[in-house]
Structure 1
Amino acid sequence: MGAKVIQRLSMDLREAFPDMKGLSSNNLKYMRFFAQNCPDLRFGQQSADQLPWLHIVTLVTKMGTSELQEWYGRETIKQTVSAEIL
Structure 2
Amino acid sequence: MMSSVLEVLPELLELVVFGLGSAGLSVAGLYIEQFALTSAQTGRTVIAVWAAVIGCVVIAFAYLMATDKAANSFKNVKMEFAEGTEYGVHMH
**TM-score, length-normalised on structure 1?**
0.29
RCO higher in structure (CA 8 A, sep ≥6):
2
**TM-score, length-normalised on structure 2?**
0.28
Instruction: Give the structure with higher Rg (CA).
Output: 2
Which structure is higher in helix share?
2
